[in-house]
Amino acid sequence: MNRIALIGIMVENTDSVPALNQLLGEYSDYIRGRMGIPQAGGRINMISVALEAPADTINTLCGALGRLDGVTAKSIFAKEE
């Protein structure tokens, strides 16, 4: 069963951006929207990603993003109907 979720991503190490973009590309079938805010506060790039996917898929992506150097990722899920 698919869930609706958002992943909030903060990037403090821009060297991780290519790997981050590759991960998002691998999950592109599930991504419904993406918004980036470059250099928020002068040193952090922020990205929000809206997804519709199985919960395990969302959690796997979020975990992989959070393991990148200088990247923090957190997910929030819509309540199930």
Domain ranges of the chain: 2-77
Sheet (strand 2-11) strand order: 31-40, 44-54, 2-11, 71-77
- The Cβ of residue 28 has, within 10 Å, a number of other Cβ atoms equal to 8
The per-residue pLDDT for range 25-80, each reduced to its tens digit, is 999 999 999 999 988 677 899 999 999 999 999 999 999 999 999 999 999 999 98
**DSSP-derived 3-state class of residue 71:** strand
The per-residue pLDDT for range 11-32, each reduced to its tens digit, is 999 999 999 999 999 999 999 9
- pTM of the predicted protein model: 0.92
- The tokens describing 20, both together, are 């981050």
Closest-CA residue to 72 (of 21, 29, 9, 30): 9
- CATH topology assigned to domain 2-77: Alpha-Beta Plaits (3.30.70)
Give the sign of the dihedral formed by CA 24, CA 27, CA 28, CA 34.
negative
